[in-house]
């Protein structure tokens, strides 16, 4: 079981999907599973039920997805690490990669985003991202087994870095099977 944590916009879903394909494992995006369960967008759910209710659903989905075994690649939502139980489950039952990005890089990548409720309505998204980063960077580090810097590299390079680390750690002795992803 492999999981990815990190700030919104750090590339968890994109990198996770490529890594899963390369290893021949199923891929799950926890936000996507949450939306299937709640039957609406996360943004709408935040507005109607509030953040604590969303975090309850998120914790249930993480507990269901993260099980011992080689199973799958899971990309988590940026706030999944806020709850101790989620961090503990992720760390104990999966190999956790933290895709680390600076708030400046994230602000650039998310400048047209309209989906992420925590970034909507902020007149200064960079300031908001800096605050979130300060709160969360220590939690991502505590939860992760490996930290991957996402500053400059392409998706292809990031995927290769994750795969190399998996191979070095001897986590999947029979993998990889598929050819490397195209740049």
Query: Which residues would be at the binding site for ligand S3P (CB under 6 A)?
Result: 8, 31, 42, 77-79, 116-118
Supply the minimum distance, in Å, between the C-beta of residue 102 and ligand S3P.
Answer: 15
For ligand S3P, the closer CB: 25 or 58: 58
At residue 176, the 3 state secondary structure works out as: coil
Sign of CA dihedral 124, 57, 55, 150: negative
In angstroms, what CA-CA distances link 48 with 45, 52, 53, 58, 134? 5, 11, 10, 16, 28
For ligand S3P, the closer CB: 78 or 103: 78
For ligand S3P, the closer CB: 42 or 166: 42
Supply the minimum distance, in Å, between the C-beta of residue 24 and ligand S3P.
Answer: 24
Supply the minimum distance, in Å, between the C-beta of residue 118 and ligand S3P.
Answer: 5
Largest interatomic CA distance in the chain: 49
For ligand S3P, the closer CB: 71 or 117: 117
Q: How far apart (Å, rounded) are the C-alpha atoms in residues 17 and 15?
A: 6
| Residue 37 backbone dihedrals phi, psi, to 5 degrees | -70, -45
Supply the minimum distance, in Å, between the C-beta of residue 74 and ligand S3P.
Answer: 12
For ligand S3P, the closer CB: 118 or 147: 118
Q: How far apart (Å, rounded) are the C-alpha atoms in residues 53 and 145?
A: 29
Supply the minimum distance, in Å, between the C-beta of residue 86 and ligand S3P.
Answer: 11
Say if residues 23 and 177 touch (Cβ distance below 8 Å): yes
At residue 57, the 3 state secondary structure works out as: helix
């Amino acid at each position: 079981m492999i999981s990815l944590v990190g700030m919104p916009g750090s590339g968890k879903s994109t990198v996770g999907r490529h890594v899963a394909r390369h290893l021949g494992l199923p891929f799950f995006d926890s936000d996507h599973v949450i939306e299937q369960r709640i039957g609406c967008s996360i943004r709408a759910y935040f507005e109607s039920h509030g953040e604590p209710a969303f975090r309850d659903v998120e914790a249930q989905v993480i507990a269901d997805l993260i099980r011992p075994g080689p199973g799958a690649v899971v990309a988590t939502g940026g706030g999944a690490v806020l709850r101790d139980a989620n961090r503990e489950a992720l760390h104990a039952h999966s190999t956790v990669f933290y895709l680390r990005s600076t708030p400046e890089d994230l602000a650039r990548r998310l400048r047209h985003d309209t989906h992420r409720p925590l970034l909507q309505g902020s007149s200064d998204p960079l300031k908001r991202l800096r605050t979130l980063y300060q709160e969360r960077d220590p939690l991502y580090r505590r939860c992760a087994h490996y930290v991957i810097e996402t500053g400059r590299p392409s998706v292809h390079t990031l995927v290769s870095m994750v795969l190399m680390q998996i191979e070095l750690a001897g986590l999947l002795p029979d993998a990889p099977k598929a050819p490397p992803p195209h740049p």
